[in-house]
Every structure is written in C-alpha cells, then in structure tokens.
Structure 1
Amino acid sequence: MVFSIWFVYWIEYYFQINFNKYGIYPKTITGLRGVLFSPFIHGDTSHLFNNSVPLFVMLWSLFYFYSKTAIKILLFGTLFTGLLTWAIARPSYHIGASGVVYLLVSFIFFSGIFSKYYRLVALSLAVVFMYGSMIWYIFPVEDKISWEGHLSGFITGLFLAIFYRKQSPKPDVFTFTENEEFDNLFDENGNFNPPKEEDESFEIE
C-alpha cells in the first residue's frame, strides 16, 4: 500500500496530471468515489512522506498482530472512514492516507486496552509521540488539514476495536513450577541454608 501511494504520486508528477478531483467531496454522488481513491492521492511530497512512515509501521503492526482479521479491518475500516468523512466533512476535496493512519492507530491502541495487551498500547503511543501533533489534528486546528478525515478514522478504529475485541491477540501468560529442592536451600527468612553433608561411617574388618 505504501508503494502504491508513491506510485500514484509519481504518475501525477511525471505526466503532470492532478488526481485531487478523485478525492472525497462530501454529500455528492461523484464525491463518493473518493472513499476508494482518496487514500492514494496526496497534495505534495511532504504530505506523502508524513503519511508513509506511520502508515508502514501501523500496517506492519496490523498484519503482524492481527493476521487473521487484518484484511477485514483494513478494508472495512477504510470504507467506513471514507463514508463518515463524506457525511460530516466540509465541502472540499479530502485526500490522503492520514485517515487510514488514524484508523490503524486508534484500532491498535484501543484493542490493546481492551485485551490488556499493553505492548500494542505502547506501540500506538510511540507513533503518536513520534508525530507529536498527531492527536491534535482530530480537531479543527488548521483549515487546510482534513480534521474530519482524521476524526472519522479515529472513531472507526474505536468502533472496530470494540467489534473485534474477542479476536484481539492476548499477552503471553507464563506459569512457573515449584522447585522444592531449590526452595529447600533457603529458610523462611530467605537466608541461604546449604544442605548438611551426611557423615560417612566406615567399618574396618
């Protein structure tokens, strides 16, 4: 997927064409095509690069930890994120894979909380802290940024984490067996108490 968004951008650059009109345009029939096409369209190199790194990390994490449901989460999540953006966003073309990034971060974060698999929570938080202002962009803090797409991805990720909570990976559980011989080396206060050597007796004939 990361390769594909760079390939689409290369086509735009090489052939001097603009795919922005294939983004999501809210509340119009033609704007619905952006639900499928918008994640592959980016405004400039900076926009593309800022989405590529977190997208790669979160997609890798999704397919590593959720191998059985990863395809469903990605497809349904992208679809619902796009539809919600189409329903609530301002009248403008909304493009970029950042909605999918927010979808994946939200899903993995909340899924980790629900399953008490805190490695997933830590992974999501690491991505958020790497891109420090990420969390703020689900709010209308900048006119040129589609906060509606970010918010849609965040909400969709939470919904999918709830829906698939029973299929979330579980943290490893370790059980330990008691070693009585080892335990006997210590007294009730935890002091080392080595075993006493038995006296050997000899008979002389």
Structure 2
Amino acid sequence: MGVTGGYPGAAGPAQRKKRPAWVVGGLTIVSFVVLLWLIELWDSLTGHRLDNNGIRPLESDGLLGILFAPLLHSDWDHLIANSVPALVLGFLMTLAGMSRFIFATAIVWILGGLGTWLIGNVGVHCPYVGVSCETNHIGASGLIFGWLAFLIVFGFFTRNIWEIVIGVVVLLLYGGILLGVLPGTPGVSWQGHLSGAVAGVVAAYLLSGPERKARALRRPVQSPRLPS
C-alpha cells in the first residue's frame, strides 16, 4: 500500500500561511534598492567604468543602455537622491499587486528607455562649435518618474477609491518633482524624466484594462428611441 510523505499535523500547500502582500512588496523594493547600492559600490571600486553603459541617444549600441541605465548612477549623491523616492514609490506600486508592479516596471523601463534614446539629445547645446556632443543617460530617476505618474493616474482609470486616494496623496507629496520633466537644470536628464512619466501613464492605462472593461459591462444599455 502506498503512503504519502509527511507527518501528522504537517501543513499542505493550501494550508501554509502566505506572507502579507505589503511584506512581499516591501522586501521586493528594498532588495531592488540594495542591488542599486551594490552596483554603485562595484562601479566606484572599478573607476566608474559601468557608467559608460547608459543610454546614448540615436546610437545603435546605445540601445543596450535601455537595459542597464536605471541600475547605474554617476556617484553616491546621485544614488542617495534616488533611493528614498524609489523605496516609497516602489513600495506603493507593489500595493497595486505584484504582477501589476512587475508589468508596469517593465513597461516604464523599456518604453521610457526607448523614449530617452529617441529624444535624449533634444535641447543639448555643445559648447564647442562644429563638434557634436554625445550624451549618456543613467540613473533610476526615469523609472521613478514612471512610478510616480502611474500612481497618480491609475486610480482615475480603475475608479477604485483607495487607489484614487493614493494617487492624490502621491501628487501632494511628490507632485513638485514633476517639474523635472521640463528642461532647465544642466546635467539632469529631463528627457529621461519625461519619457519615464509618459511611459508610466501608458502603463497605468494598459494595466487598468480589466477594471475599465468591467465598468463598461456594468453600464446600462439604452434602447434606441423610435419616432412616434
């Protein structure tokens, strides 16, 4: 007679208590920020050679920078400036669901990076006449702007009251940094900020599809009026 493994009182897969979503989300985003610090530590120890792998606009080999740019920072001050917003906004993103967080991050990462590759040289003035200046865009700020834009508009697409509240709170706390999508500060990739923010809105619209479809199905169908 066959027997099953285990012992009396052992919990099966369905009985095991899952970790709360906020714990999983918190561990995920903390791990991501820790990874950024480890990469910057290695970069500092190796003479910042990794920084050359950013997004170089309109260059074919610069397309690879789309994959690496959000993981790279020019120095510790740059990384520190991005760490707190990444922790806060990234954690809030996970509250929309881990699958949505992953897909939204992928959309912002790729679409925002592609936008930066396309417009990264816009508004760049070279001090040397007759010489083309190449730009190299690095940093997680494009991803952060994407998360920020996603959080602000997602609730208005889903019509979920709590997600609307989160969006309003995020807008009040961090809305001021949206000015970073405008040109003006030398050495700051407003192109990356703008591309990330646009990608965040696109991600919010795409990933709110189930709620928008469900809302459309609940609308009453109006019978056509016939002339009397």
Give TM-score scaled by structure 2 length: 0.68
Task: Provide the residue aligned with 1:100 in structure 2.
Answer: 143
Structure 1 unmatched ranges of 5 or more? 170-205
Alignment of 1:35-184 (within 5 A): 35-90=66-121, 91-127=134-170, 129-131=172-174, 133-167=176-210
1:16 aligns with 2:59: no
Distance in 2, matches of 1:121 and 1:104, equals 15
Structure 2 unmatched ranges of 5 or more? 1-31, 122-133, 213-228
Give the CA RMSD over aligned residues: 2.1
Distance in 2, matches of 1:115 and 1:130, equals 21
CA deviations over 1:57-104 (Å, ceiling 9, x no partner): 222222222223221221122011101110111140001000000111
Alignment counterpart, residue 29 of structure 1, candidates 60, 64, 89: 60
Contact 2:151 2:170 in 1 (8 A): no
- SS at the partner of 1:75? helix
Distance in 2, matches of 1:47 and 1:123, equals 27
Task: Provide the residue aligned with 1:193 in structure 2.
Answer: none
Contact 1:51 1:98 in 2 (8 A): yes
What percentage of residue pairs aligned between the two structures are identical? 28
* Displacement of 1:123: 3.4
Give TM-score scaled by structure 1 length: 0.75
* Displacement of 1:26: 0.2
Specify the structure having the higher radius of gyration (Cα). Answer: 1
Contact 1:128 1:134 in 2 (8 A): no
* Displacement of 1:130: 4.3
